[in-house]
């Protein structure tokens, strides 16, 4: 789903070295996502989705609230609810769930946080 967002928002994706060991960054002024070149496939997919979420949410700058919002939107794009339900019946740790769902543990944490907040 986030691939559609990239196309709709005409976001350019480049590989580049980033500061502070960041895996990715979104630059609103150039509408560009930079990704660290040595990321593995799951890291790249998750990071690209996370940065696309920053773009879709029009984030300019960096705050804990913006990071939480981007994490949750990205997790919603990456994790299908039926897949999550099925996998969570089999696996009981975020790492095992992440492996099964082909996402990072941070995506699982964000997805669970989002579900818990919406069920209140």
Residues in the chain: 120
Nearest Cα to Cα of residue 13 among 45, 60, 61: 45
Residue 61: its pLDDT value, please?
82
Residue 81: its pLDDT value, please?
94
Structure-block tokens of residue 9: 């928002």
Cα separations in angstroms, 6 against 9, 20, 52, 113, 115: 5, 25, 7, 25, 25
Residue 46: its pLDDT value, please?
97
- Indicate the CATH number for domain 2-118: 3.30.2010
Strand segments, DSSP code E, in 1-120 are 12-15, 24-27, 32-35
Residue 12 pairs with which residues in a beta bridge?
32
Q: Taking a C-beta distance cutoff of 8 angstroms, is the pair 24, 33 a contact?
A: yes
Residue 120: its pLDDT value, please?
65
36 by Cβ neighbours in 10 Å (0-12 / 13-18 / 19+) ranks as middle
Residue 103: its pLDDT value, please?
97
Query: CA 7 from chain center: how many Å?
Result: 17
Please, what are the averages of pLDDT over each run of 10 residues along the chain (120 residues)? 84 94 95 96 96 95 93 96 95 95 97 88
């Amino acid at each position: 789903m986030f691939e559609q967002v990239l196309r709709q928002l005409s976001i350019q994706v480049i590989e580049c070295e980033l500061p502070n060991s960041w895996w990715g960054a979104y630059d609103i002024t150039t509408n560009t996502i930079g990704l660290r070149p040595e990321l593995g496939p799951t890291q790249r997919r998750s990071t690209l989705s996370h940065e696309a979420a920053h773009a879709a949410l029009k984030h300019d700058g960096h705050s804990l609230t913006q990071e939480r919002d981007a994490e949750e939107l990205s997790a919603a794009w990456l994790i299908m609810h039926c897949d999550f339900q099925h996998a969570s019946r089999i696996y009981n740790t975020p790492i095992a769930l992440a492996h099964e769902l082909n996402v990072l543990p941070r995506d699982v944490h964000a997805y669970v946080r989002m579900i818990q907040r919406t069920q209140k």
